[in-house]
Structure 1
Amino acid sequence: MDQLRADLSACRLCADRFRATATRHEPRPVVWFKPGARLLIASQAPGLRVHEAGTPFWDRSGARLRDWLGMDEETFYDRSRVAIVPMAFCFPGYDAKGSDLPPPAICARVWRDKVLSELTDIRLTVLIGGAAMNWHLGKGPGVTERVRRWREFGPDVFPLPHPSWRNTAWLKRNPWFGEEVLPALKARVREVMEA
């Protein structure tokens, strides 16, 4: 796995693509996993703050996600316990209007199966956002419907909306998420991490 992590950290497949974005940035893969991890967080792609820090969820969305999981910062950032494997390992950049660009599909095609095949101790997968849901569950309904049907995916997979503060209105419109999904998620995280 050390060689895989090194190869992924050195990846420059999207260098030309990123230089053509409004942010004109260089690739900086955020590689956050080690052998032994029990929890897989399958997310979308790093944002600008994560790109700058080199640490996943190093922003307000990370604080919200840790709260949803019932997990402290030290445990969350222990790579041997929590693997954070986004659909794209680099910040995709912004378009001319300042909106986030989607994760480049080439990243998942090249790296995802290689990484996941090395993470043999995963007991719980948390899917954040539509791209991760489509990869792991196949094409299907939108994020809200999949999160609403969370029980169908068994105790080992939880689909979640993105914990971005931009989704605060979504959380207010869908109170069942906090009432039903989060208590079950926290209980399952405790069970997996303490086993």
Structure 2
Amino acid sequence: MNIIERVRQCTLCRGQLPFEPRPVIQGLPAAKILIAGQAPSLSVQKTGKPFNDASGKRLREWLGVTEAQFYDPTLFAIIPMAFCYPGKGKSGDLPPPKICAQTWRAPLLEVFNNIELTILIGQYAQSYHIADFVSVSQAVTEWRTGLPGQIALPHPSPRNQLWVRKRPWFEAEVLPVLRTRVREVLLSF
């Protein structure tokens, strides 16, 4: 059994989450773009399809890709920091349980050795992948430093609309470069 199948059968968090474990992950070793997110939303937990929610629609718009491209596991590996819905907190979903990344992240990343672009979404993915991580705002402000291989984005959740509105440079400067880089990677496939 390969590592992706093992993750899909993981039950490490059984009894600690509001639902039975249903790990959500996408990707094949040939994938060129890695989306490192936080954890599935409740609707993703229910459907088993990554980013199958308003955040996913917005993310696909940011990337400039179709739904068919986004869900093609030879193009996109979608590997969140945790694979199951962590539950609801006071101001949104709870943080991803650390045991997921501690157990699975390194062995999974070894399998995906064709990645040309890693997209870091939100604080948990950024703090794992960026050595000197301070905040999402700083990581996104310094978006150029990781290119062409890596870029930090705020979470595409509708809850972050105010963050985006207060930073018009994000849509004006970051998204056009992101879309161009995604196109370059997909055309090289």
Map 1:8-19 to 2 at 5 A.
8-18=7-17
In structure 1, give the amino acid aligned to 2:186. M
Map 1:1-195 to 2 at 5 A.
3-18=2-17, 24-95=18-89, 97=90, 99-195=92-188
C-alpha distance in structure 2 between counterparts of 1:44 and 1:31, whole Å:
12
Normalising by structure 1, we get a TM-score of 0.93
Q: Identity of paired residues, percent? A: 47
In structure 2, give the amino acid aligned to 1:27. P
CA deviations on 1:78-107 (whole Å, 9 max, x unpaired) are 011100000001111124x58411000010
Shift of 1:139: 4.2
Partner SS for 2:35? strand
C-alpha distance in structure 2 between counterparts of 1:148 and 1:3, whole Å:
37
C-alpha distance in structure 1 between counterparts of 2:145 and 2:28, whole Å:
29
Q: Which runs of 5+ in 1 are unaligned?
A: 19-23
Q: Is the 8 A contact 2:11 2:21 kept in 1?
A: yes
C-alpha distance in structure 1 between counterparts of 2:138 and 2:132, whole Å:
12
RMSD value, Cα = 1.2
Aligned residues: 188
Shift of 1:154: 2.4
Q: Which runs of 5+ in 2 are unaligned?
A: none
Shift of 1:6: 1.7
CA deviations on 1:137-195 (whole Å, 9 max, x unpaired) are 12422101110111111211110000000011111100000011000000000000101
Segments ≥4 residues shifted beyond 3 Å? none
C-alpha distance in structure 2 between counterparts of 1:17 and 1:37, whole Å:
32
Partner SS for 2:15? helix
